[in-house]
Structure 1
């Protein structure tokens, strides 16, 4: 990642960076908690949203798709535009727009307005994660960048462990709109925290859309493809999991939040393990994660009618799926570092392109009455494709090294 500042790793400001690391990273993690809650809580509230807005389950699922599309746009185009201003200023501006997007979701009178709010919030989400990672990796030395990324992404996993289940309960009791009001309030706190405690850091080299050419080398494309299919496979299956749990596994609606806790715990464990392991063995971590995810998805699809198996599989799917997340980010940034700030946004765009396609295809499959396990089978197919691309990437890199 040659585009990031390296001189400070061995200069007089290193002690200052060490002291600020916990506060700065955890402020970013707090913000990513709000981002993660906004992105993932819809999966637990999908039936309620569909009923309240008088749309089908498949149509309600497009709120996930459009959010993911917004992240793609933000991670590439908006990250590029904001690379011209200091990262801390960019993060605070994005926080304000994210608040506005979630207020539209909370107060929007119809499906179109809620959709617009999701697009706005999703666009700022993608750019925030891209710029946030630029900041996060500059708060640590080069040996611990994987952990820094994992710490920031820990906000996303915490959102799944605590935020999504509690948000689902809150939405079921008081209405799903209240949840988005709470997200907006959390974003206010997170934005103020960034203003207060995140230090100013050097910007990555200014990017332009011309720098996209650096993403077109073989290794970068294969890494982004692996991330797209791997993450898309997991969240394509997860988007409609509330329907699978209630209509196939036989769980009551009241049990869904607590089952989502298991998925969230898996995400947290996977992110923590992945963040530590990618700094030691990047390719091995990705290989084990993808193989484990594929195996769990097959079991979940085959045995979706067995409640105990489903509960265990949810936790394992989260663990294996998110253990690869720091690795995806690390691998793409390493292969496309010359792209400047846009290199940090590229893997975010890739995984959310997978999310968008996965949730969209899953919705089509449900609308076509292929069954509530069909998104899980689609997710398994996507994970298998990720394994193929990953294998090709590793083989290509080994040949190039000879």
Structure 2
């Protein structure tokens, strides 16, 4: 795997830390800026909305730029808005910086996915995708807890400064390792036409449902383990880190399998994830079962997710610049809708197990959509053939398409 792919993973680590760390900083931000806790919580929603809107729009705006230049522009903008956020005393300015950070993050994500797969041979594309997405899992394991610790000890601004500082080595590494090639992109109208393909839209919908299921339960994992499992609040960071450790294990293991057996990995991962969320909802009162299932669900979520993203990039080969943007948007649609659905379930008085049941339902919908797509589920796919095409002859939605290099 080229070193440049790991550099992209490092940058995604910094950005993933910024995206998720805010949940532990909301009380401090609210107190410091003199706003309500719900108002401070809107900073998270603003970031999610910025990611969904920014992924396709930023990619479209920079689609003909050389990749290294594009990545550097987005990454430097990301650093700059975090410095501005750390310095401001205005809630409105901080809200604006979160939207700007999300736009930069979304653009970087989309271009990074395309760049990573362009740097490797066709038979290694899913593994390259796993390395980039792996930056998010490392953020969950190390970055988010570290940000919360910094915020608790030195104030929320310290966490913003830390994200900016961690991003600087990524800027230098991107400048030195990423080729400054200009992607051979078709016309914007041609790419948009390619993205209207029904099979691709189904894959995007499955991605959104899958990620929604993951973040629905992850967002309310703390309340599950304290209110249902009965663990003390001091266990919460450890359980979150355990989910992150499972995610990292899933990325590492699946990254070595996804290019050889993508169909089998997706089928097994999606089905097992649906069953796992249902079992966790039933067994959440048992400590041992909860510990095991939290790790397992993290592993399934981030072991299967990159393979689904790679499938989007493969199916969207006719839209080489925008496919990554739409894959990023689908990821973040799930990241926004899932927590909202889990919160609505709790607010309706369904209890603290209800977000996990909601995750099981979302996963069941994802499996059903995939399995009933014109009678041909996505896992009926031949393995990749080295040097010739990304996933051989990929069959999804009853149609056959060649996705290649």
Deviations along 1:31-69, one digit per CA (max 9) or x if unpaired, are: 011011112223455666667665356x65544333222
The aligned runs of 1:279-298 (5 Å cut-off) are 279-298=259-278
2:107 is aligned to 127
Tell me how far apart the structure 2 counterparts of residues 254 and 169 of structure 1 sit (CA, whole Å).
13
**Structure holding more helix per residue:** 1
Stretch moving more, 89-98 or 117-126: 117-126
After TM superposition, give the deviation of residue 285 of structure 1 in Å: 0.9
After TM superposition, give the deviation of residue 287 of structure 1 in Å: 1.4
The aligned runs of 1:307-346 (5 Å cut-off) are 307-346=287-326
Tell me how far apart the structure 1 counterparts of residues 293 and 101 of structure 2 sit (CA, whole Å).
31
Structure 1: gaps of 5 or more residues: 1-20
After TM superposition, give the deviation of residue 233 of structure 1 in Å: 0.8
Change (3 A) 1:242 1:256: same
Contact 2:60 2:322 in 1 (8 A): yes
After TM superposition, give the deviation of residue 268 of structure 1 in Å: 0.8
2:251 is aligned to 271
Contact 1:41 1:167 in 2 (8 A): yes
Deviations along 1:221-273, one digit per CA (max 9) or x if unpaired, are: 11001100001110122123233333443333333222221111111111122
SS of the residue corresponding to residue 279 of structure 1 reads: coil
1:178 is aligned to 158
Change (3 A) 1:217 1:376: same
Contact 2:67 2:179 in 1 (8 A): no
2:393 is aligned to none
Tell me how far apart the structure 2 counterparts of residues 302 and 375 of structure 1 sit (CA, whole Å).
12
- Matching of residue 101 in structure 1 with residue 46 in structure 2: no
- Matching of residue 302 in structure 1 with residue 254 in structure 2: no
| TM-score calculated relative to the size of structure 1 | 0.86
Tell me how far apart the structure 1 counterparts of residues 299 and 132 of structure 2 sit (CA, whole Å).
17
After TM superposition, give the deviation of residue 363 of structure 1 in Å: 3.2
Tell me how far apart the structure 1 counterparts of residues 221 and 26 of structure 2 sit (CA, whole Å).
10
1:24 is aligned to 4
The aligned runs of 1:164-313 (5 Å cut-off) are 164-206=144-186, 208=188, 211-313=191-293
After TM superposition, give the deviation of residue 280 of structure 1 in Å: 1.4
Change (3 A) 1:158 1:112: same
- Matching of residue 348 in structure 1 with residue 328 in structure 2: yes
Deviations along 1:87-110, one digit per CA (max 9) or x if unpaired, are: 100000101111233334434445
After TM superposition, give the deviation of residue 383 of structure 1 in Å: 1.2
Tell me how far apart the structure 1 counterparts of residues 29 and 275 of structure 2 sit (CA, whole Å).
32
Contact 2:130 2:306 in 1 (8 A): yes
Change (3 A) 1:236 1:49: farther
Tell me how far apart the structure 1 counterparts of residues 287 and 40 of structure 2 sit (CA, whole Å).
25
Change (3 A) 1:184 1:144: same
Contact 1:80 1:206 in 2 (8 A): no
SS of the residue corresponding to residue 375 of structure 2 reads: helix
Select 2:36's aligned residue among 55, 76, 89. Answer: 55
Tell me how far apart the structure 2 counterparts of residues 176 and 298 of structure 1 sit (CA, whole Å).
36
Tell me how far apart the structure 2 counterparts of residues 254 and 176 of structure 1 sit (CA, whole Å).
20
Deviations along 1:133-180, one digit per CA (max 9) or x if unpaired, are: 222122211111111111222222211222122223333333333222
Tell me how far apart the structure 2 counterparts of residues 108 and 360 of structure 1 sit (CA, whole Å).
29
Tell me how far apart the structure 2 counterparts of residues 133 and 48 of structure 1 sit (CA, whole Å).
34
Contact 2:199 2:397 in 1 (8 A): no
Change (3 A) 1:137 1:104: same
CA RMSD of aligned residues (A): 2.5
| TM-score calculated relative to the size of structure 2 | 0.85
- Matching of residue 64 in structure 1 with residue 44 in structure 2: yes
What is the count of residue pairs matched by the alignment?
380
Stretch moving more, 220-229 or 324-333: 324-333
Tell me how far apart the structure 2 counterparts of residues 46 and 207 of structure 1 sit (CA, whole Å).
43
Change (3 A) 1:356 1:400: same
SS of the residue corresponding to residue 36 of structure 1 reads: helix
Select 2:57's aligned residue among 74, 77, 82. Answer: 77
- Matching of residue 162 in structure 1 with residue 142 in structure 2: yes
- Matching of residue 142 in structure 1 with residue 122 in structure 2: yes
